[in-house]
Structure 1
Amino acid sequence: MKTVAIISQKGGVGKTTLATALAVAAELDGKSAAVFDLDPQASASFWKDARGKDASPAVVSLQASRLKETLALAAEGGCDIAFIDAPPVAKDIAFEAAEHADFILIPTRPAVLDAAAMDKTLKLIRAFAKPSAVVLTFCPTQGGREIGDTEEAVKQLGATLAPLRIHNRITYSRAQQTGHTAQEFEPEGKAAEEIKHLYDYTCMNLFTQTAEAKNVRRRTA
C-alpha cells in the first residue's frame, strides 16, 4: 500500500478537497483507496456523511497516535492508496503523517502569508527526507503576479513545485458540499482535468520512485 500525506501548517488551502478528490480518482483508476482524517474539524468525515456510508472511498476519522496501526490494517484489508488529511498548525500530527507517508503534497495558496506557512511545513517534513511537492491551490483563473511570486518563493526554498495548478473554481466547493468531487460533479470540466493531472503526478512519484529503488537494489545486490 502507498500512502500520500497532504500537509500544510496553514488552514484553508484545500487539503480535504485534494485528499477526497485524489481518493476518488484512485477509485476511478481501479484502485482501492481510503482517506484518513486526522483533522479535529473532521471535514473529510463530514464529506463522507454527505456522500453516504456505503459509498467509496472509505473515510476514517482517527487520532494521530492510531495512524500506524490503522494504516497497517488498511494494507491488510487490500487498500492500494491511503490519503492522509492532516490538520493545520498541529506540528505533532503533521510529523506523524509525514513519518508514514511515501509522498507528501503541500498545498499552498499564491499569497505571502501562505508562502511563509509553506516554509514552516517544509522545515517540518525535511526531517524525514521524504519526496514531496508544493501544489498551488486557489489560483486565480485569470492568472496574476502572486502566482509567479509564489512559484519563485518555492524555488528559492529549494522545494519541488508540482507542474500544475489548482484554480479557484466554484466546482470544487459545490462538489464538496454534496459529498462529491470535481470529477464527479462536472466530469468534463476544467476542475476535473486539474485533479486528473494531480493524480497522475502523484502516481508518478509513488510508483516510479518505487521502481527506480528496486532497480538500484538489483544493481547493487
Structure 2
Amino acid sequence: MKTIAFVTQKGGAGKTTLAASLAVAAQEAGETVAVLDLDPQQSLTNWGNDRESDAPAIDYLEPGSISQLPSILTALKGRGYTLVILDTAGIDSTGTHIAMQAADMCLIPSRPTRMDLRATRATYEAAIRMDRPFLFTLNQCPPQPNNPRASEAAQALSMLGMIAEPLIMQRADHQDAFASGLGVTEYASDGKASEEMRNLWTWLQKTMKGKNHGEAIKTKLVG
C-alpha cells in the first residue's frame, strides 16, 4: 500500500480539489483507494457526502485522532486498500507533520505565482528535516501556449526538488467537478483536465516505484 499526503501551508493552491480528482483517477486505474480528510474545514469530507459512488472510501479524522494515523494506515492495508490519500490542513501543524511522516510521498501543490512559490518553503524544508520524499505539483497554470509564468515557476521549483508531470492547467472542469461531488475524470472524461489527471496519476505511480529518472526520488535543499 502507498500513501500520498497533500501538504501545503498556504490556502488556495487547489490541494483538496487535486486530492479528490487524483483519488478518483487512481480508483479508475484499478487501485483500491481510501481518502482521509485531516483538515478541520472538512471540504473533502463534504465532497464525499455529495457523491453517489461509495468509492473511493472517504473518512474524516478529528484532530485528536491524527496521532493514531500510523495504526489507521496499518488497518487500511489489512483491509486490502492499495492507496491512501491524505488531505491535510493548509497550515503548519503537528497533524500535518504526522501525515508527512506517515506518507510514502508528500505532494506540495503550488500555483505559479511568486507568493505561492515562497509559501512552499516551509513545507519542503519540513519534508527535508523529516527525511521524507516530496514532489512539487504546479497547479492552476495558465493554459495559454508558451505562457512564461508556468515555465518560470517550474524552473524555480526544479532547483529545489522534482516537479510532478504534467503541469495542471487552470480549467473550469476542476471546480465544476468538485462542486458536483465528482472527480474531474468522472465529470468530463474526455476533457483535457481529465487527461492531465490520468497522466499525473500514471506519473506518480511510476515515480513511487522508482521508474522515473531511473531511480527512487532523492531530495535535498539547494542554496
TM-score, normalised by the number of residues in structure 1: 0.89
Segments of structure 1 that go 5 or more residues without pairing to the other structure are: 214-221
Deviations 1:47-87 (A, max 9, x none): 001003x5210111003223222211111111100001011
1:68 aligns with 70
Indicate yes or no: 2:61 matched with 1:59: no
**SS at 2:127 equivalent:** helix
What is the CA distance between 1:34 and its match in structure 2? 0.8
Please show how residues 21-40 of structure 1 align to structure 2 within 5 Å. 21-40=21-40
What is the CA distance between 1:159 and its match in structure 2? 1.3
- The answer to whether the Cα contact below 8 Å between 2:127 and 2:133 also exists between their aligned partners in 1 is no
The AA in structure 2 aligned to 1:13 is: A
1:112 aligns with 114
CA distance in 2 between counterparts of 1:198 and 1:68 reads 26
Structure showing the higher helix proportion among its residues = 1
Pairwise CA RMSD: 1.7
CA distance in 2 between counterparts of 1:155 and 1:28 reads 30
**SS at 2:59 equivalent:** strand
What is the CA distance between 1:31 and its match in structure 2? 1.6
2:43 aligns with 43
Segments of structure 2 that go 5 or more residues without pairing to the other structure are: 217-223
Q: Which is further off, 194-203 or 23-32?
A: 23-32
CA distance in 1 between counterparts of 2:174 and 2:158 reads 27
Indicate yes or no: 2:2 matched with 1:2: yes
Indicate yes or no: 2:126 matched with 1:124: yes
1:207 aligns with 209
Structure showing the higher strand proportion among its residues = 1
2:194 aligns with 192
- The answer to whether the Cα contact below 8 Å between 1:27 and 1:33 also exists between their aligned partners in 2 is yes
Q: Percent identity between the aligned chains? A: 33
Q: Which is further off, 107-116 or 141-150?
A: 141-150
1:77 aligns with 79
CA distance in 1 between counterparts of 2:71 and 2:42 reads 20
Please show how residues 134-145 of structure 1 align to structure 2 within 5 Å. 134-143=136-145, 144-145=147-148
CA distance in 2 between counterparts of 1:91 and 1:150 reads 26
Moved over 4 A (4+): none
2:158 aligns with 155
What is the CA distance between 1:20 and its match in structure 2? 1.3
What is the CA distance between 1:152 and its match in structure 2? 2.3
CA distance in 2 between counterparts of 1:104 and 1:152 reads 20
2:170 aligns with 168
- The answer to whether the Cα contact below 8 Å between 2:142 and 2:149 also exists between their aligned partners in 1 is no
The AA in structure 2 aligned to 1:139 is: C
**SS at 2:166 equivalent:** strand
- The answer to whether the Cα contact below 8 Å between 1:175 and 1:182 also exists between their aligned partners in 2 is yes
What is the CA distance between 1:90 and its match in structure 2? 2.9
**SS at 1:166 equivalent:** coil
- The answer to whether the Cα contact below 8 Å between 1:91 and 1:124 also exists between their aligned partners in 2 is no
1:219 aligns with none
CA distance in 1 between counterparts of 2:94 and 2:116 reads 20
Deviations 1:191-220 (A, max 9, x none): 0011011101110122236xx78xxxxxxx
2:220 aligns with none
